[in-house]
Amino acid sequence: MRAKNALGWGPFSDTLSLIAARRTDKLEPLTSSNENNEVRLTWQEPAYDGGTPLIDYVITIKTKDGDYLEETTYCDGSDFQTRGNLFCLIPMPVLRDAPYSLTLGEIIIGKVSARNAIGYSEESEPN
């Protein structure tokens, strides 16, 4: 774009580019279940991807202290297989040890969010 006045044409403005999209919808809460000696965390794709493909997920787990931490060793939402499966399996000893320090019988509480080209969705409610 440029403007013209009595003295003539001005310079062109910088080019602007934009993606006609938005962040993905907030995801439903994930579910947790026991599977042998592992915990299975499962989630669903968002109802709307925002108009661009999903890039990855971030799955966080509540620690004994109330913080939410990402367990990327066993639940890496950027891993191709984990993204496709919409679940991950975490060995129970991992959740009993620091930094999670959960005790036998405690419910595993987590949150999930999805990312597209615009950014991350709002985190789901805790399960």
94 in helix, strand or coil?
A: helix
pLDDT at 125: 96
- What is the domain extent for residue 93? 29-115
Would you say residue 3 lies in a domain? no
Specify if 58 maps to a domain. yes
Put residue 49 in one of left, alpha, beta given phi > 0 → left and psi -120 to 50 → alpha. Answer: alpha
Q: Provide the domain count of the chain.
A: 1
pLDDT in tens, 63-91: 999 999 999 999 999 999 999 999 999 99
The CA-atom distances, in angstroms, between 22 and each of 91, 111, 116 are 36, 21, 8
126 occurs within a structural domain: no
**Residue 75 included in any domain:** yes
- For residue 109, being part of any structural domain is answered with yes
Asked, for residue 56, whether it belongs to a domain, the answer is: yes
- Does residue 68 form part of some domain? yes
CATH code, 69: 2.60.40.10
Q: At residue 54, what is the residue type?
A: L
In a domain? residue 54: yes
Low-confidence ranges of the chain (pLDDT < 70): none
Distance CA 18, CA 10 (A): 24
